[in-house]
Structure 1
Amino acid sequence: MGGCVSISSKSDEERISPSCLLIDMFRHKRSRRTFSDNATTLQHLSSIPNRIFTNGRSRSSCIFTQQGRKGINQDAMIVWEDFMEEEVTFCGVFDGHGPHGHMVARKVRDTLPLKLSTFLNSFESKQNGSSANCCNGNIKSDVVDPENNISAEEKVESLWREAFLKSYKAMDKELRSHPNLDCFCSGSTAVTVAKQGSNLFMGYIGDSRAILGSKDSNDSMVAIQLTIDLKPDLPREAERIKRCKGRVFALQDEPEVQRVWLPFDDAPGLAMARAFGDFCLKEYGVISIPEFSHRVLTDKDKFVVLASDGVWDVLSNEEVVEIVSSAPTRSSAARILVDSAAREWKAKYPTSKMDDCAVVCLFLDGKMDSESDYEEQCFSSATVQSNHSGNALESDDGQNSEPCLQRNFTVRSSEDSDQYNRVHLDIKDGAEDQNWSGLEGVTRVNSLVQLPRFSEEKPRP
């Protein structure tokens, strides 16, 4: 639908007639393979080229995770180059919580990208046989659809927004009905980024974060936060939860940490306002609808860092950018960042249990170290087949592949949980500052305080 345009391709002479950017993208992809069949794809994820999910590197990125001191590593991460076509890279970090949080995070890591591609594929099928405004690689905002009076930039941004929203919704729906995964009191955050040419499309829930390392007018590295930590201390998040009869307040011994509680019980005390899973709270204001944003990259933008809150609890955005930009090799940046976070945990909070840390560093110029530099950092150029903690290979439902979770280390012990006095959060109407993003507080606590076994049929007061 809409007007027909021609745009320049990478060739000096060749002109591309009216084929939409994303239709062209899928044609490239389908010439190699198709991922529309989720069931088949899930069985062969480990063999897909240019997809890394354990400690290692790709052509333009490095990733690293380290288990904390709370039990099994509940963080997961992924970089998938050539995700839709040669110019599209998908990145994600997922931080699980609750007794099955590690399996939720890995399930989301494996399934969410497939759902995103499925919804983008559905767009192609709808557009077959019709012309649409488009561009190839980079979006040009001066290309306008004469019928709808919208630019190609707005059209593609709207498509990615819809794809993120639908894929997140479908992901949460699948978790709810999963036959082998109990997500009633378990869940996961998600911060996901799709880089297409010079465009960055982001969808995220929870308190994992993405930042951009860029150069300012003085050629100095600066940190630009790309996402907002979606916690209950954000006024708009707290107001939504309260409208749904959920409760938001902090415990007396951690007044800086607002948590979400059931209306009829002082549980579970979730320290985030949006998450996959956590179905005990889905009727009371905790949602899985992602925030979406789009950023056009420039030559001054150097790298993107995605990380779980185990990093952000002890390091500032500026410190993270300094650590990554000063790493001796790009392939070592993620590992050095996690090591730095571990040292800060020991120095700042010696009596606290260090949280799991997961980091993705995506270098925007698409370059990485030489193979010799990479090998000096003790990595393998192939995808690593076991994670930093030596865990076995992961499966969809965790059966016969994960170490047994003997204790839920994301929950406080009974002696730590006695005699909590609650301080209620008082939100004033209209008090939200549009520029406030809840980034200053340092959280050293678990995502969940306690997890008694609920019954979904428990009557409300």
Structure 2
Amino acid sequence: MLSWLGRIAVACWRPVRRYARMNKDNIIEDDSDSTIPDTLLWCKDLQKHSYGDFSFAVVQANEIIEDHSQVETGRDATFVGVYDGHGGPEASRYISDHLFLHLMRLVRENGSISEDILRSAFCATEDGFLTLVRRTCGIKPLIAAIGSCCIVGVIWKGTLYVANLGDSRAVIGSLSRSNKIVAEQLTKDHNASMEEVRQELRSSHPDDSHIVVMKHGVWRIKGIIQVSRSIGDAYLKQPEFSLDPSFPRFHLSEPIRRPVLTAVPSIYTRILQPNDKFLIFASDGLWEHLTNQEAADIVYNNPRAGVAKKVLTTALSVAARKREMRYDDLKKVEKGVRRYFHDDITVVVIFIDHELVGKKTCVPELSVRGFIDTVGPSNFEILQGIDANARSFI
């Protein structure tokens, strides 16, 4: 029997033109409609939230999944969180366990949801994780090099709040006057590949000529990391967490004088309009293979049930074709090895049914965690009774 390496080699010898299919309108078609299951893929085809439905899908590529994610549903609000870890799962798992709870505590204390409240929830999560790093780095020094991107969306009484660190992305699909869906990116990618990010780093570190370095054809901060904002990555934020030369991948030539990365999120607020039809929250693994518009077109042109999985498997088909494979061949590749073909990917699609906004809908208050497949009670009941006018606080 062929080893997995042999199977990959055989698959890669197949000509790519057999699988690179485009229809007459130049829309990407995926080749995932087969009976062979992808054992590394998890999904919730369709669930209810206070403003409609949501679809949720995650695929694992790393030996231990580093994407953690959640959807919290309440009577008057919906929360989405996608946490794309790097260096290990500890930071993304910590965010999943704490950020939403910090947000609910702050809302209860202040009687409002606002941009400032979201920033404070991120700050409390960062402080908590750095405290964990401080307590455990003597036993596990590499925890100082573990971090996570973080994107959060909150819909409350018709207003959308999005807070972002890193290069996960939120995209909204809106219907144009010509009845076509238009994708709009709501977040900025905090990634050194962006000229704007490099200029921001150079401006804030004028005395450091190596703040951004081109390494192996990729722009990296201090020659190490691509994202400029994250939870964690303590060794790039405080000198006390610097790693010694025994960890060359994370070793800095000289101690940092001030934080190289930040955990201050960029925040976007929008009062949802009748032409706003859905939101897509996804880790950067999706956007490596699909454009914003391609993902929005898939959501708009397919049934709601299972649409997050449809978006994800289309991206996997594209990733496979880049290696001159079919998605069916990719399914045979084991976790860990899959990382050479694609990253862990999380996709959450939130549909917005405007006729439900402001109505007392019967939606269970649930917490749905991606991939680990847990569903339990949420803590959104504390929002009941908060004055809708509180959003004018922003």
The TM-score with structure 2 as length reference comes to: 0.65
Task: State the Cα distance separating 1:73 from its structure 2 match.
Answer: 1.8
Residues 231 and 354 of structure 1: CA distance in aligned 2, closer, same or farther (over 3 Å): same
Query: Which residue in 2 is equivalent to 1:194?
Result: 154
Query: Which residue in 1 is equivalent to 2:349?
Result: 361
User: Given the alignment, which residue of 221, 225, 228 partners 2:185?
Assistant: 225
Question: How many residues align structurally?
Answer: 276
**Contact in 1 for aligned 2:289/2:318 (Cα 8 Å):** yes
Mapped to 1, the partners of 2:355 and 2:54 lie a distance apart of: 8
Residues 276 and 58 of structure 1: CA distance in aligned 2, closer, same or farther (over 3 Å): same
Mapped to 2, the partners of 1:221 and 1:358 lie a distance apart of: 22
Report percent identity of matched pairs: 25
Task: State the Cα distance separating 1:392 from its structure 2 match.
Answer: 9.1
Query: Which residue in 2 is equivalent to 1:161?
Result: 115
Query: Which residue in 1 is equivalent to 2:127?
Result: 173
Equivalent residue letter for 1:79 = V
1:121 aligns with 2:108: yes
Query: Which residue in 2 is equivalent to 1:323?
Result: 298
Mapped to 1, the partners of 2:188 and 2:306 lie a distance apart of: 27
Query: Which residue in 2 is equivalent to 1:375?
Result: none
Query: Which residue in 2 is equivalent to 1:66?
Result: 59
Task: State the Cα distance separating 1:366 from its structure 2 match.
Answer: 7.4
1:93 aligns with 2:57: no
Task: State the Cα distance separating 1:359 from its structure 2 match.
Answer: 0.5
SS at match of 2:144: coil
Equivalent residue letter for 1:164 = L
Residues 288 and 346 of structure 1: CA distance in aligned 2, closer, same or farther (over 3 Å): same
SS at match of 2:114: helix
Mapped to 2, the partners of 1:88 and 1:64 lie a distance apart of: 21
Superposition CA RMSD, Å = 2.7
Equivalent residue letter for 2:188 = I
Matches for 1:284-299 after TM superposition, within 5 Å: 284-299=259-274
**Offset from partner CA, 1:123-165 (integer Å, 9 cap, x none):** 13xxxxxxxxxxxxxxxxxxxxxxxxxxxxxxx7xx5111111
Equivalent residue letter for 2:55 = C
Give the number of the structure whose residues are more often helix, by fraction: 2
**Offset from partner CA, 1:219-250 (integer Å, 9 cap, x none):** 11111111111112344532443434462022
Residues 63 and 392 of structure 1: CA distance in aligned 2, closer, same or farther (over 3 Å): closer
SS at match of 1:55: strand
Query: Which residue in 1 is equivalent to 2:73?
Result: 81
- Work out which of the two has the higher radius of gyration on C-alpha atoms and give 1 or 2: 1
Greater relative contact order, per chain length (Cα 8 Å cut-off, separation 6+)? 2
Which of 70-79 and 272-281 deviates more?
70-79
Query: Which residue in 1 is equivalent to 2:322?
Result: 348
Instruction: Structure 1: give runs of 5+ residues left out of the alignment.
Output: 1-53, 125-155, 369-381, 395-461
Residues 385 and 172 of structure 1: CA distance in aligned 2, closer, same or farther (over 3 Å): closer
Tell me which stretches of 4 or more aligned residues in structure 1 moved more than 6 Å.
382-386, 391-394
**Offset from partner CA, 1:26-58 (integer Å, 9 cap, x none):** xxxxxxxxxxxxxxxxxxxxxxxxxxxx73242
Matches for 1:49-448 after TM superposition, within 5 Å: 55-56=43-44, 57-59=46-48, 60-68=53-61, 70-82=62-74, 86-98=75-87, 100=88, 102-124=89-111, 160-178=114-132, 179=135, 183-242=143-202, 243-244=204-205, 245=208, 247-251=211-215, 253-254=216-217, 257-261=218-222, 266=223, 269-282=224-237, 283-327=258-302, 329-349=303-323, 352-365=340-353, 387=371
Task: State the Cα distance separating 1:109 from its structure 2 match.
Answer: 1.6
Mapped to 2, the partners of 1:358 and 1:292 lie a distance apart of: 21
SS at match of 1:78: strand
Task: State the Cα distance separating 1:339 from its structure 2 match.
Answer: 0.5
Residues 383 and 198 of structure 1: CA distance in aligned 2, closer, same or farther (over 3 Å): closer
